[in-house]
């Protein structure tokens, strides 16, 4: 690890914590195909407490879970147990009951209609099924409030009661599609999603500190989620933990783990499916997973309907972005130095990662603060990525 990169990244972490309104704590790591070449941590696991944020701190990975579920599904495709063209209700019958939200009556009652086509696994993988999240859609929040449906983050079957925001395949809408894909994986494997991850993904990757249900050892290292108020004040919310155990293990949202564990997953993608303890995917499958699957449709900005959970935002506004299985793809070079055609995504509590298969590098920035795309944590994550590329060019 060059001293210049180490000192530069350490300073980015330090400033993200120590500046006015800074985040309580952060962990950041970068890897090439062989191993991590930067690991850093700064701040504390919880404001007002003495425990330092460390490289092995456990965090809610939230939507960073999605790519892991995508790998579990593609393993089934490789084995011939699934085809992406399959109709989803073949495996999860209740998905056939989904209707399209077509507006609201004058009394506030939702108006529904049947979808124009069935939802396929391809739609789920690409977020074109029509599912949304209530915190990214005023209409969906209104529908779920009208019917008193619990949040998807309740990790309950009732929380997956839903409607579609458009016909399958009509557009890209970020939402609970991968939660449903996780149920498909469970149905085919005949095991819980956590058991599938442990056997088919985590064991070959040498991952031991990532799970839907935290072990006692993980719980002692858990970083607390914090809430930033409108005036910038930050408050720890130590009781904000997804159900342990949960009624449903959400394939799109509910893993807890360490940044170091996730770097092992990133490294597997960089190495075309090869993990530390075995191969997870064929190289041609990883290549397929890295390609834009949307055609002319694009992924992009979001608008928040629950400001305490997410800010309005976008990644690299003005740059064309598409979607693959199951990552965002920047169609054009990013201002950090990341070339076009690479992979990335994020987690609700302000974790961000990227995977650059062209240069053989990737990284992750992990913090635990809401709302999403925090005013301090997100820009610092961009500066961290930029520092890695500046060192690469040097």
Which residues are identified as catalytic?
63, 66, 174
Q: Quick count: other Cβ atoms within 10 Å of Cβ 144?
A: 20
Tokens 């290292």 locate to 221
User: Are the C-beta atoms of 77 and 285 separated by less than 8 Å?
Assistant: yes
Q: Quick count: other Cβ atoms within 10 Å of Cβ 283?
A: 12
């Amino acid at each position: 690890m060059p001293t210049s990169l180490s000192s530069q990244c350490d300073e980015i972490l330090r400033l993200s914590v120590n500046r006015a309104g800074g985040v309580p704590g952060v962990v950041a790591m970068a890897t090439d195909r062989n191993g991590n070449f930067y690991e850093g941590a700064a701040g504390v696991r919880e404001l007002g407490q003495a425990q330092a944020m460390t490289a092995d701190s456990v965090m809610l990975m939230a939507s960073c879970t999605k790519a892991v579920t995508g790998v579990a599904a593609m393993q089934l495709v490789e084995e011939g147990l699934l085809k992406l063209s399959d109709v989803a209700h073949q495996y999860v019958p209740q998905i056939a009951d989904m209707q399209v939200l077509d507006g609201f009556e004058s009394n506030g009652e939702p108006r529904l209609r049947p979808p124009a086509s069935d939802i396929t696994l391809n739609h789920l993988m690409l977020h074109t099924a029509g599912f949304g999240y209530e915190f990214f859609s005023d209409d969906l929040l209104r529908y779920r409030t009208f019917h008193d449906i619990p949040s998807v983050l309740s990790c309950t079957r009732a929380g997956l009661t839903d409607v579609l925001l458009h016909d399958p395949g009509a557009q890209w809408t970020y939402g609970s599609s991968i939660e449903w894909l996780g149920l498909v994986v469970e149905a085919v494997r005949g095991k819980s999603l956590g058991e599938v991850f442990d056997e088919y993904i985590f064991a070959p990757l040498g991952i031991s500190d990532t799970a839907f249900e935290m072990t006692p050892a993980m719980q002692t290292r858990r970083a607390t989620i914090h809430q930033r108020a409108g005036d910038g004040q930050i408050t720890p919310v130590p009781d904000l933990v997804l159900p342990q155990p949960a009624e449903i293990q959400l394939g799109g949202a509910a893993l807890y783990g360490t940044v170091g564990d996730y770097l092992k997953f990133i490294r597997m993608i960089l190495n075309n499916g090869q993990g530390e303890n075995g191969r997870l995917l064929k190289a041609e499958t990883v290549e397929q997973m890295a390609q834009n699957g949307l055609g002319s449709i694009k992924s992009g900005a979001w608008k928040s309907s629950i400001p305490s959970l997410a800010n309005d935002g976008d990644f690299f506004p003005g740059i064309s972005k598409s979607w693959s299985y199951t990552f965002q793809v920047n169609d054009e070079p990013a201002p950090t130095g990341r070339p076009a055609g690479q992979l990335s995504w994020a987690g609700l509590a302000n974790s961000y990662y990227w995977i650059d298969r062209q240069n053989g590098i990737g990284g992750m920035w992990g913090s635990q603060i809401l709302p999403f795309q925090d005013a301090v944590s997100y820009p610092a994550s961009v500066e961290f990525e930029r520092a890695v590329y500046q060192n690469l060019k040097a």
